[in-house]
Structure 1
Amino acid sequence: MKKFFLPVAFFALAISAQAQEAQEEIVEVVPSSKYKAANYNKWSVEVNGGGNNAIYNWNNKSSDAKFLGLWHADLGVRYMFNTKFGLKADAGYDRITNRDDSPEFETTQWRFGLQGVINLGRVLSFEDWTKSFSLLFHGGPAYSIFQNDNIPEDDEMFSVMAGLTAQFKLSEKFALTLDATGINNFGMKYTWNGLSRNAEYLTVTTVIPSQVVNGETIPGQTVTSQVANPATNYTRHLNPLLNVSLGLTYYFGNKQQHADWYLEEDLSQRIDNIEEMLKDDDNDGVPNYLDQEPNSAPDAVVDTKGRTIDANGNGVPDVIEQYIKDNYPAAGNAGVLSDSNILKQLIDSGIINVYFDYDKSVPFDASIGGVDFVVEYLKMNPNASVEILGYADPAGGASYNQALSQRRADAVKQIIVGKGINASRLNAKGQGIDGQFKGSAVSAHQLARRVIFKIK
């Protein structure tokens, strides 16, 4: 009889713990993306060089700036909050010169800006048709400084800019970029070629060379006149500058990909992965991703990690056999089961327990067999008594779990009373939450929902 009850109890314990652990660990396979740390790099440095065009030069058409003069450069540092939105701090330089057929002038402009960035490639799902091309929209305010040799002071102004950057992925660390950005300067006091917008008239000096007419020399002369300043006819709040540039972006960080190119695994792929993980090739009830013994023999009883509980098939769980071997090598299995003192030690050691489902006070049917060992011991020792200690897992409040653990202890007490033991010999105590499981994985909580025994 004793040989029958011992394996039944431990087989039941293993099966119930395995079922609960597998069920609860599956929940943890795919954590909520809300709390999941980003699996991509967020920082990048961008260097660009190219041309510019100052679209309006309000003097006359002969003073227009050179179209796409090759004197533009900018440097930016960008941070992506996620795969779609980010922020960029940048500095730019432009040198604006005259067309070949215009009066000479040279103007420089420095700007320092802060721009918002939208990864249109991810917003518009470019990944559906390409993995190596994307578009970034960027825009924001800037502080600009305008300099020209013909003006007495630096012209400082507020600017707004916006643009599109085409990205061509070269590797996980580099991307080639082609950018077009429009900038408008508000409040320019001077034109691009250095004319004051505040002067109503301009002084124009014309030199007329000497001439010979009918053998008579007419001396040259210099004529000075006042003409209306065309720069006053145009608003100082409309001063566009166009930049077109080619550049290189470097992504830094210890992740494999940058946010510009990172793709979240789609739901169908996640489901496929979970289904693959939950396969049980050896049909032992433990999914492959948890199975530490993936080739268990048919019908073998295994623990929560898929390891065979009774590898030699003698009806005694391996954990008990190992305990006996380590502590009572001379007695053997049969000697232990007939020895009251050894059985007492087994009970007090915590090996024999009764387990419960989540938020339940009715024990698993298969784990009730462990109660019979306590009953047998009490029948062999009429003067002995037993403490029945109930526990709960860390989920829930302390007061609720205290009451739950008491109900569990009372339920086991009634089972023992029903097997012929006087209630006066049984002291049921609820212990509340088992402190040793606080902070443990959810998969370990099954082991906390139990009743243990202490011989008195």
Structure 2
Amino acid sequence: MKKIYFGAVFTLLSFLTQAQEDFDHWSIDIGGGLHQIGSTITPGYSANILGQGSMGFRYMFNEKFGLRLDLGYNSFSADENSTADFKSNYYRASLEGVVNLGNLLNFKSFTNRFNLLAHVGAGAASLNVTEPTDNGGDLMYVMNVGLTPQFKLSNRFSIFLDFNSLIHYNQEDNFDGGANTSGRESNISLMNTSIGLNIALGRNKQSADFWNEELDEEVIDGELVSLKKRLDSAEKEIAILKTKESGPNKELIMTELDERYVKKNEINKYANVVSGSNVDFIRNLLNSGYINVYFDTNKTKIQEGSLNSVNYLKQFMIDNPYVNAELIGYADETGTVERNKTLSQNRAKMVFDVLVAAGINPTRLSYFGGGEDTSVAKDARQLARKVTFKIK
């Protein structure tokens, strides 16, 4: 049994460095507390309820589903009400599926501190009776079912309560050393109640248990400070454009626009619409996808190089108070369709929030998630993680 313990721990620890993305996938939990023997104890015998501990190594595939290796130990001895003395030790190891009910049921809509996990799995266990006689170890199969409420202490630590029931198959001995005379092959033999600490492993600011895609206030404030600095430097050039009495100066407009979105030799494509003012020209650049806001993989934080794009739309709407804008978010093809739909909408919402904070009336803006942008190949997915504009 000890070989199973150490082998499983070593295998899991060898993969701890593989976690990626914007939340920590790996975590360790350590707990201990009370136990209650179920049907597999000889009549007249009773055991102390204190004396069990567990350790878990968990990997979350995403914010809702994961796997956990559960290692547990129980120590049983007779209490004052038992008709005879006995001592036994119980070891178990099981692999469990984990469901984050808190994220599945959107707990984050009303709390940032409480969460609820459910877990179910199967494995092996060994009951080693030492008194009154040594049984040499009783090997059996075990199924584990439980619920784990959590309370977040910080981004790295949370405390938990765990309630689980252990169903044993082919258990030959009772926990007191007597023969298991039950006619059933399976018994609800043991119930554990634990309190413990969960520790997230990784360098990200959030764990999978309490993951929230919404950016915190500090991130939004940082975006706004950077945006305001860029707005200040752009005001003079915009003022020059507005005071031009003659037709639009294409070179001056292109100086104002970020070179990453349109090349000088592409100006000719719009020669037929730049007639009396620069409004139609800039409108077409916005609507035709030359000016977009880009994001990193699985992020809703605007790339620093894309803040100019938000600036262009903000200034255009200030200069033309009769226009409205629609913000359309996109994601690349990695991840599930449902998650990409949510991610694309949250990216559009991020641009919406920055524009509103910069002074644009929210009634002039609308946003939605366009889901996956399948128009680009695998090697160009960075171009799919974006928000585009439609001027109305």
Question: What range is the shorter-chain TM-score in?
Answer: 0.5 to 0.7
- Compared with structure 1, are the counterparts of its residues 154 and 297 closer, same or farther at alpha carbon in structure 2 (3 Å cutoff)? closer
Alignment of 1:278-289 (within 5 A): none
RMSD across aligned C-alpha pairs, in angstroms? 3.7
Give, as a single letter, the amino acid of the residue that structure 1 aligns with 2:128: Q
Alignment of 1:196-235 (within 5 A): 196-197=179-180, 231=181, 233-235=182-184
Distance in structure 2 (CA, Å) of the matches to 1:163 and 1:178: 10
Q: TM-score, normalised by structure 2?
A: 0.54
Give, as a single letter, the amino acid of the residue that structure 1 aligns with 2:39: Y
Equivalent of 1:92 in 72, 83, 93: 72
Distance in structure 1 (CA, Å) of the matches to 2:80 and 2:173: 22
Contact 2:135–2:177 under 8 Å retained in 1 = no
- Compared with structure 1, are the counterparts of its residues 306 and 55 closer, same or farther at alpha carbon in structure 2 (3 Å cutoff)? same
1:50 partnered with 2:33: yes
Equivalent of 1:132 in 93, 102, 113: 113
**What whole-Å deviation, never above 9, does each CA across 1:313-372 have from its counterpart, x for those lacking one?**
xxxxxxxxxxxxxxxxxxxxxxxxxxxxxxxxxxxxxx9957454xxxxx733799xxxx
SS at match of 1:188: coil
37-46 vs 91-100, which moves further = 37-46
Tell me which residue corresponds to 1:296. Answer: 237
**Unaligned residue ranges in structure 2 (runs of 5+):** 1-19, 242-248, 276-378, 385-392
Give, as a single letter, the amino acid of the residue that structure 1 aligns with 2:187: L
Give, as a single letter, the amino acid of the residue that structure 2 aligns with 1:235: R
1:306 partnered with 2:256: yes
Distance in structure 2 (CA, Å) of the matches to 1:115 and 1:169: 22
SS at match of 1:165: strand
Q: Which has the larger radius of gyration?
A: 1
Tell me which residue corresponds to 1:243. Answer: 192
Distance in structure 1 (CA, Å) of the matches to 2:46 and 2:23: 47
What count of residue pairs does the alignment treat as equivalent?
241
CA drift of 1:92 comes to 0.4
Give, as a single letter, the amino acid of the residue that structure 1 aligns with 2:271: F
Distance in structure 2 (CA, Å) of the matches to 1:295 and 1:81: 50
- Compared with structure 1, are the counterparts of its residues 353 and 48 closer, same or farther at alpha carbon in structure 2 (3 Å cutoff)? closer
**What whole-Å deviation, never above 9, does each CA across 1:18-69 have from its counterpart, x for those lacking one?**
xxxxxxxxxxxxxxxxxxx832111111000111111124422x21333xx2
1:122 partnered with 2:103: yes
Alignment of 1:257-406 (within 5 A): 257-265=206-214, 293-300=234-241, 302-304=252-254, 306=256, 353=265, 355=267, 357=269, 364-365=271-272
Contact 1:41–1:252 under 8 Å retained in 2 = yes
CA drift of 1:175 comes to 0.2
Distance in structure 1 (CA, Å) of the matches to 2:258 and 2:31: 64
Tell me which residue corresponds to 2:50. Answer: 70
Contact 1:115–1:141 under 8 Å retained in 2 = yes
Higher relative contact order (CA 8 A, sep 6+): 1
Distance in structure 1 (CA, Å) of the matches to 2:272 and 2:26: 57
Q: Which runs of 4+ in 1 moved over 6 A?
A: 288-291, 438-443
Distance in structure 1 (CA, Å) of the matches to 2:110 and 2:273: 56
